Amino acid sequence: MTSLDIMTGKAAFMPSLLFLFALFTSNLRITDAQIGVCYGMMGNNLPSPREVVNLYRANNIKRMRLYDPNQAALEALRNSGIELMLGVPNGDLQSLANNADAAGQWVQRNVLNYYPSVNIKYIAVGNEVNPVGRNREYSPYVLRAVQNVYQAIRARGLQDQIKVSTAIDTTLVGTSYPPSKGSFRNDVRSYLDPIIGYLVYANAPLLANVYPYFSYADNPRDISQQYALFTAPNVVVQDGSRGYQNLFDALLDSVHAALDSTKIGYVKVVVSESGWPSDGAFAATYDNARTYLDNLIRHVNRGTPMRPGPIETYVFAMFDENQKNPELEKHFGLFHPSMQKKYPFGFGA
C-alpha cells in the first residue's frame, strides 16, 4: 500500500470517526440533560445556597428540585441556567386551595419575582400526599391548590413554560406486577382521577417518586438485589413481549400502565425522586448506593420497555441531611455537607 493509499484511506475514515464521536458526545449531553438532583435543606451543617448553586454548576448538574421557595436559594439561582422544579410545601396547600388570591400572591412572590432569570420549569404542588396513608390530612386541598396555582401562572401566559403538577409516591399503585397490569388503588381513585384529568387538560406531567430500594427492602425474598441495582445479567420479569432487567423500569412502567388504565388521557411521567441510602438500614451500604446511582445515571437515556426515550429523573439528594428521620433518611446524599463527593460520579462535561 502506498502512502497515498494510506492517506486516502485515512481521509475516508475520518468523517466516519467524527460522526461517531459527535453521536457519542450528543448522547452524553442527552443523558446529562435528563438528570437533576434534589436539594433538601434538613441539615444544620449544610453549605449556603450560593455555595450549593456553585456546586451544581461545577458538577454540570443542570436541574434542581427545591422543596420550598427558599428565597436565598432562588436568589442564588438567578442567571445560573439551572432548570428548577419548585415545591409548594404540604403545609401551604390548604391556604392556596381555599383562596385563589393567596395562590396568586404565592406565585407572584416565589415565581414571577424570579422568572425568567431563574429558569423555573415545574411547580410541584405538594409531595407524597396519600388520601389513605401518609400526609392524608392534606389530600382535600391538593387538586384545588394545583388549579389555583395553574390559573395564576396562566394569567401571565406562562402555562406552556411552567408546568404545574404534584408529586406522588408509588404506594398509590395497587397492582404493579406485572408492570402492564399496573393500576391505582381503588381507594385513591376518587382523589387521583380528577388530578389526572387536570394534567391532561394542562398538558402537564405527573411527578412520581420511584424508589427500587424500598420495594427491595420490603420484600428481599422475592426481589433480588441485582434486579434492584440494575445489575441483573438477564431479563428477570417477562411481561408479554416486554422484558424487564431492572426494578426501576418495572416500577415506572406500572405507573405508566396505571395512568393508561384510567382511560382519562395520556400523561407523561417525570421521576421527581429516586435514590439509594448509603447507611442506616437493610442493604443501605456505600457500595449499593454507588452502584445504584452510577447505573441510574447511565440508564435514564434509554427509557422503559413500555415508553422508550429519555426519562427526566431527579436524584435524591444533594446532601446527607442530619435532621431527617428515620436514620436511613439521613444518608441519601451525593455529597457530604463539606461539599466533597461521597461517590465518584459524573454528569459529563
Per residue in 104-125, pLDDT (tens digit) is 999 999 999 999 999 999 999 9
Separation of alpha carbons 205 and 236, rounded Å = 29
Among residues 51, 75, 273, 312, the one annotated as catalytic is 273
Structural domains counted in the chain:
1
Contact 78, 114 (CB under 8 A): yes
Q: Is 321 a catalytic residue?
A: no
- pTM of the complete model: 0.89
3 within domain boundaries = no
Contacts of residues 100-106 at CB distance under 8 Å and 24 or more positions apart, as own/partner, are 100/148, 100/151, 100/152, 102/148, 103/145, 103/148, 103/149, 103/151, 103/152, 104/148, 104/152, 104/155, 106/69, 106/149, 106/152
Q: Mean pLDDT for the chain? A: 91
- Which is more confidently placed, 280 or 27? 280
315 within domain boundaries = yes
The residue among 342, 65, 110 whose CA lies nearest residue 208 is 65
Cell for 141? Answer: 386541598
Q: Is 327 a catalytic residue?
A: no
The residue among 115, 207, 117, 205 whose CA lies nearest residue 158 is 115
60 within domain boundaries = yes
30 within domain boundaries = no
Cell for 146? Answer: 394545583
23 within domain boundaries = no
| Coil vs helix vs strand at 173 | strand
Contact 65, 82 (CB under 8 A): no
φ/ψ region of 303 (left if φ > 0, alpha if ψ in -120 to 50, else beta) reads: left
320 within domain boundaries = yes
343 within domain boundaries = no
Among residues 128, 312, 321, 329, the one annotated as catalytic is 128
Q: Is pLDDT of 348 > 70?
A: no
| 152: amino acid identity, one letter | A
18 within domain boundaries = no
Identify the domain containing residue 236 by its residue range.
37-330
What was the pLDDT predicted at 345?
A: 77
pLDDT in tens, 144-167: 999 999 999 999 999 999 999 999
CATH number at residue 280: 3.20.20.80
Q: Is pLDDT of 19 > 70?
A: no
The residue among 83, 78, 87 whose CA lies nearest residue 36 is 83
Contact 313, 299 (CB under 8 A): no
